Structure 1
Amino acid sequence: MNIFVIILIPAALVLLGWSTLKSREKTKQSLKVAKGMFLNVGGEIFGLLLLVALFFTLVPQGAIESLLGGANIFLSSLYGAMIGTVLILPKFVALPLAADLIKQGAHIVVAAGFITTLTMVGFATFPIEIEHFGKKYTLVRNVFSFIFAILVALGMMVML
């Protein structure tokens, strides 16, 4: 456990107690809503974590290390950025995935490119964006986002 967990759990319990003292009925209702929300997304979260575990089971460590941790950091960063471009993952799954990629031999610069493109570039959501914002805007936004994501990754390389 890290310091944030050690601080946040007692803080949440204290605030829950305070909320209960203030209004027992509202707290009970809020906990029911929170339970329902957790049960709705719990299956999806579990499924995503299973897919990540399956990925690391099926893909040999050498493949990750050679593709995302090779001597050519720029090329490896492009690979990581391209992977991040086509995936749709919630950040609470993507960040541990990036940490595991680093543990498996990927360079930290690659992880930075992966996370940045995952956040900024929406290849999978391209059709929806075109529908709402138009083709030209969507294309320009995604191209510039990809370029800036690569610049962020390269900036990480310079800083490290």
Structure 2
Amino acid sequence: MFTKILYALAITLVIISAVKSKKKTKQALKKAWKSFEAMMPQLLSIIMIIGLILSWLDPELISKIIGGESGALGMIIAGLIGSITLIPAFVAFPLAAALLQNGAGTVQIATFVSTLMMVGIVTIPMEARTFGKKITTIRNSMAFVLSFVVAILMGVLL
């Protein structure tokens, strides 16, 4: 229902914009279409990545490794995977949703997503050159620990 409301709102606002200025509305729609075309390969890759991951991991295996019953070990596994994985947020969130639907635990997925966003094992060399080894180590260590705090809080709140 909410999606239908958003579509109706968007259509209404485009109509209002077109009434005010057809030229600007046409330019805006062209820019939006070009942005959509630029994102399409990435969106298709997201769908493919999620499909491949879910074809390799059946729901029982996902539940066993990072399910709600996996506890602290599942959180650690999810945190380590998130820390070493380098994927953008627009891939991570649909992947997290798919994993949740296939048996992953909320706390474990919160750990995965927060370490994915905040910890960067793969980018440590570049970060260390820019900020220095000490700052990089401190930042990544604190981010790793805070990811678990955030995940536990989410588990309590949700």
Aligned length: 158
Aligned partner of 1:82 in structure 2 is 80
Aligned partners of 1:43, 1:31: CA distance in 2, in Å? 20
Q: Which residue does the alignment assign to 2:153?
A: 155
Asked if the contact 2:127/2:136 (under 8 Å) is kept, the reply is yes
Distance 2:69 2:15 in 1: 54
TM-score normalised by L of structure 1: 0.88
Partner of residue 22, structure 2:
24
Q: Which amino acid aligns with 1:31?
A: L
Structure 2 CA distance for aligned equivalents of residues 90 and 139 of structure 1: 22
Output the CA distance in 1 between the equivalents of 2:84 and 2:19: 48
Structure 1 residues 142 and 26: CA distance shift in structure 2, 3 A: same
Alignment of 1:68-79 (within 5 A): 68-69=66-67, 71-79=69-77
Runs of 4+ in 1 over 6 A off after TM superposition: none
Identity across matched positions, percent: 36
Which one of 55, 58, 77 corresponds to residue 57 of structure 1? 55
Q: Deviations over 1:52-107 (max 9, x none)?
A: 11110122322211111264411101111112222233333322221221222211
1:128 to 119, 126, 129: 126
> Any conservation in 2 of the 1:52–1:97 contact (CA below 8 Å)?
yes
Distance 1:24 1:141, change over 3 A: same
Q: 1:37 aligns with which of 14, 35, 38?
A: 35
Letter in 1 for 2:99: L
Give the whole-Å Cα distance in 2 for the aligned partners of 1:74 and 1:24: 57
Contact 2:68-2:108 at 8 Å conserved across structures: no
1:101 aligns to 2:83 (yes or no): no
Deviation track 1:107-154 (CA, whole Å, cap 9, x = no partner) reads: 111011111112211223323322332222122111100100011112
- TM-score where L is the length of structure 2: 0.89
Relative to structure 1, the CA distance from residue 125 to residue 50 in structure 2 (aligned partners, 3 Å threshold; closer, same or farther) is: same
Match of 1:137 in 2: 135
Does the 8 A contact of 1:74 with 1:154 survive in 2?
no
Structure 1 unpaired stretches of 5+: none
In the alignment, which of 144, 147, 151 is matched to residue 146 of structure 1? 144
Query: Greater CA deviation, 87-96 or 75-84?
Result: 87-96
The 2-side partners of 1:18 and 1:124 are apart by 47
The unaligned stretches of length 5 or more in structure 2 are: none
Q: Describe the SS at the equivalent of 1:123.
A: coil
